[in-house]
């Protein structure tokens, strides 16, 4: 998979790119690269944003600046790009990112993430250049960089070999194996901690009962049981 993150702050990703599961994915041939939106701006003095039409506070990232960054990266007409590549603009008002979307994206070959800043993108970026507008939750962050890292984290850990222990991704929160519910509670040694005990069933050695108990706990967390 190839992920390009378009951002005004590529250095934000230095730390992220060094993390083990990200490095694992890169070593397996996946790609995660940052593209500096400012580097290809057609405006003078590195300008990328402008005041909003209609007035109001804040600045808006210009559509021609994003167009120019996409053209420089991919060569093709940026208006055609979303036909064959997932181009995702990050904005608080977009489709909420969840496990289903993470799985969907893990099956894509090529993804572009556009990180907004200030008051976000000119709406024509969302409408004509992006294939999707995605939010990581109903709160406003200073930009799309953290949302991009959240999404990359959730997507990359789904790729074979990223975690180094394949089973853990199978039966985890919101997986089909758990009927889309949050994961059951986990316990480890000591079995008795200040008198707070691990549930008996987990130390019983009865795998069938353990499975039943876990599913029930998982359903309970979902509010179903
Ligand atoms: N940019 C600012 N806040 C955001 C959010 N919650 N999700 C995605 N992009 C954002």
CA 165 to centroid of ligand 1, rounded, Å: 31
What is the distance between the alpha carbons of residues 173 and 165, in angstroms, rounded to a whole number?
Answer: 16
Buried b / exposed e across 99-129, counting CB within 10 Å, b at 16+? Answer: eebbeebbeeeebbbbbbbbebbbeebbeeb
Q: What are the residue ranges spanned by the domains of the chain?
A: 2-156, 176-224
**Going by CA atoms, what residue is nearest to atom 7 of ligand 1?**
135
Which of 170, 94, 193 shows the shortest CA–CA distance to 134? Answer: 94
What pLDDT, on a 0 to 100 scale, did the predictor assign at position 169? Answer: 63
Q: What is the DSSP string of 188-204?
A: -S-SEETTEEPPHHHHS
Task: Copy the structure tokens of residue 50.
Answer: 């402008």
Task: Tell me which of 6, 58, 90 to substitute to probe ligand 1's pocket, judged by most ligand atoms within 8 Å of the beta carbon.
Answer: 90
What is the distance between the alpha carbons of residues 6 and 45, in angstroms, rounded to a whole number?
Answer: 19
Task: Tell me which of 135, 152, 153 to substitute to probe ligand 1's pocket, judged by most ligand atoms within 8 Å of the beta carbon.
Answer: 135
What is the distance between the alpha carbons of residues 29 and 7, in angstroms, rounded to a whole number?
Answer: 23
What pLDDT, on a 0 to 100 scale, did the predictor assign at position 181? Answer: 82
**Going by CA atoms, what residue is nearest to atom 4 of ligand 1?**
92
What pLDDT, on a 0 to 100 scale, did the predictor assign at position 184? Answer: 95
What pLDDT, on a 0 to 100 scale, did the predictor assign at position 179? Answer: 82
**Going by CA atoms, what residue is nearest to atom 5 of ligand 1?**
92
CATH 3.40.630.30 fits 2-156, yes or no: no
176-224: CATH homologous superfamily?
Answer: tRNA(m1g37)methyltransferase, domain 2 (1.10.1270.20)
Q: Are 128 and 117 in contact (CB under 8 A)?
A: no
What is the distance between the alpha carbons of residues 131 and 2, in angstroms, rounded to a whole number?
Answer: 16
CA 194 to centroid of ligand 1, rounded, Å: 43
Task: Tell me which of 9, 61, 91, 97 to substitute to probe ligand 1's pocket, judged by most ligand atoms within 8 Å of the beta carbon.
Answer: 91
Peptide bond into 87 cis (omega under 30): no
Show contacts of 38-42: CB within 8 Å, 24+ apart.
Answer: 38/8, 39/69, 39/72, 40/68, 40/69, 40/71, 40/72, 41/65, 41/68, 41/69, 42/68
What is the distance between the alpha carbons of residues 201 and 178, in angstroms, rounded to a whole number?
Answer: 19
- Tens of each residue's pLDDT in the chain, 225 residues: 999 999 999 999 999 999 999 999 999 999 999 999 999 999 999 999 999 999 999 999 999 999 999 999 999 999 999 999 999 999 999 999 999 999 999 999 999 999 998 789 999 999 999 999 999 999 999 999 999 999 999 999 999 877 766 666 677 888 877 888 889 999 999 999 999 999 999 999 999 999 999 999 999 998 866
CA 89 to centroid of ligand 1, rounded, Å: 10
CA 179 to centroid of ligand 1, rounded, Å: 28
What is the distance between the alpha carbons of residues 69 and 39, in angstroms, rounded to a whole number?
Answer: 8
- Residues with a CB atom less than 6 Å from ligand 1: 90-92, 116, 135-137, 139-141, 143-144, 147
Please, is 18 exposed, middle or buried when counting C-beta atoms within 10 Å of its C-beta (0-12, 13-18, 19+)? Answer: exposed
Look at residue 107 and give its three-state secondary structure. coil
């Amino acid at each position: 998979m190839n992920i390009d993150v378009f951002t005004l702050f590529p250095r934000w990703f230095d730390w992220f790119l060094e993390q083990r599961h990200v490095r694992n994915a890169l070593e397996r041939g996946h790609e995660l690269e940052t593209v500096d939106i400012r580097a290809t701006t057609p405006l003078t003095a590195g300008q990328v944003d402008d005041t909003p039409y209609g007035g109001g506070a804040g600045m808006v990232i210009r559509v021609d600046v994003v167009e120019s960054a996409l053209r420089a990266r991919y060569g093709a007409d940026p208006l055609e790009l979303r036909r064959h590549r997932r181009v995702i603009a990050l904005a608080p008002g977009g489709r909420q990112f969840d496990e289903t979307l993470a799985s969907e994206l893990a099956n894509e070959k090529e993804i572009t993430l556009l990180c907004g800043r200030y008051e976000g993108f000119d709406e024509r970026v969302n409408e004509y250049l992006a294939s999707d507008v995605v939010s990581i939750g109903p709160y406003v962050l200073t930009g799309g960089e953290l949302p991009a890292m959240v999404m990359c984290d959730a997507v990359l850990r789904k790729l074979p070999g990223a975690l180094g222990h394949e089973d853990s991704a199978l039966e985890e929160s919101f997986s089909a194996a758990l009927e889309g519910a949050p994961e059951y509670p986990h316990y480890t040694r000591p079995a008795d901690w200040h008198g707070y005990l691990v549930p008996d069933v987990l130390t019983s050695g009865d795998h069938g009962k353990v499975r039943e108990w876990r599913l029930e706990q998982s359903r309970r967390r979902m509010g179903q049981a």
